[in-house]
Amino acid sequence: MKILLTGKDGQIGWELQRTLAPLGVIGAFGRDRLDLRDLEQVRTVVRDFAPDVIVNAAAYTAVDQAESEPQVADQVNGLAPGVLAEEAAARGALLIHYSTDYVFAGTSRRPYTEEDATGPLSAYGRSKLLGETAVAATAAQPLIFHTAWVYATRGRNFLRTIQRLAREREELAVVDDQRGAPTWARMIADATAAVLAKLLPPEQREPLPGARRCRLYHLTCADETSWFGFASAIIDRMRWEGGWGRLATLRPIPTAQYPTKALRPRYSVLSNTRIEHEFGVVLPRWDEALDLCLGDESAWGSYARGRIDHRQPPAQ
DSSP β-ladder status, 225-226 and 179-180 = antiparallel
Q: Does residue 124 carry a catalytic annotation?
A: yes
Q: What is the rounded CA–CA span in Å between residue 124 and residue 181?
A: 19
Q: Torsion-angle region of residue 272: left (phi > 0), alpha (psi -120 to 50) or beta? A: alpha
Whether residue 273 contacts residue 219, with contact meaning beta carbons closer than 8 Å, is answered with no
Whether residue 314 contacts residue 278, with contact meaning beta carbons closer than 8 Å, is answered with yes
List C-alpha distances in Å: 5 to 30, 100, 199. 9, 18, 18
Helix (H, G, I), strand (E, B) or coil at 160: helix
Helix (H, G, I), strand (E, B) or coil at 33: coil
Q: Of the listed 98, 124, 151, 267, which one is catalytic?
A: 124
Catalogue the active-site residues.
Answer: 124
